[in-house]
Amino acid sequence: MSDGRLQAIGLCRYYHRGPQTVKAVDEVDLTIAPGEFLGIVGASGSGKSTLLNLLAGLDTPTAGEIRYENTPLRALSRQELASYRAHKVGMIFQSFNLIQHHTALKNVEMALYFNDTPHRERRCLAEKTLTRLGLGDRMHHRPADLSGGEQQRVAIARALVKEPEILFADEPTGNLDHDNTGQIAELLTDLHRRGLTVVMVTHDLELARQCTSRIVNMHYGRLQSENEPPQPRKASS
């Protein structure tokens, strides 16, 4: 067994729909090394988002095990699992999942409510992160007043502000146009370059090849193949 940061061993997540059992994730073994940028690709309904939710500690496996730095998540209490999400994990979603009635700044600040960041430091950290992502002049805007790309950058800022050890991105460019997709891809690549472990779920193989260091393919809940890291695409002028 390798010493990866995050390991999935025989991971299963089944749903029962009446008499039928849907195997969303089935016997998945996966190791994610520190500093790796893993791309999980596959068709819609192949179980990639379910796998991501399991790895992020949002969902509970039916069978198998997830180990974070050799600690099984199953052994953690619900409060400890929440603490794992608060301290170790950052998440971004296809639909951004920003809280609509809060400003961009407040949305980012809220991520620090749960990881013991002192009250007085939260605003400063949130402002710095937003500025770093080029949203210094948009931090007092509500999500409805921001473009899709800006909203996703706010979501990334929210994930990054607590300095997670792994960033999980679930179809981060799924709702974005070509230009914004490029910007977000560059941003994620840059974060990976700086040493952050990133796990990205996408159905866009091209994007996966462009950003990730390793790609795994999911098909009907099972990991089918591991591709060699694609050559980085040249930035468009």
Rule CB under 8 A: which residues touch another protein?
50, 53, 56, 58-59, 78-79, 82-83, 85-87, 89, 91, 93, 97-99, 101, 110-111, 113-115, 119, 158, 162
Contact between residue 74 and residue 45 where contact means Cβ atoms under 8 Å apart? no
Find the DSSP H helices in the chain.
48-55, 78-87, 104-110, 119-132, 148-160, 178-193, 205-211
Q: Least distance (Å) from another protein to the CB of residue 231? A: 33
Q: Least distance (Å) from another protein to the CB of residue 148? A: 17
Q: Least distance (Å) from another protein to the CB of residue 78? A: 6
The rounded distance, in Å, linking the Cα atoms of 192 and 196 is 5
The rounded distance, in Å, linking the Cα atoms of 191 and 186 is 9
Using the minimum distance from each CB to another protein, give the nearer residue, 31 or 97: 97
Q: Least distance (Å) from another protein to the CB of residue 230? A: 29
Name the pairing type of β-strands 71-72 and 63-68.
Answer: antiparallel
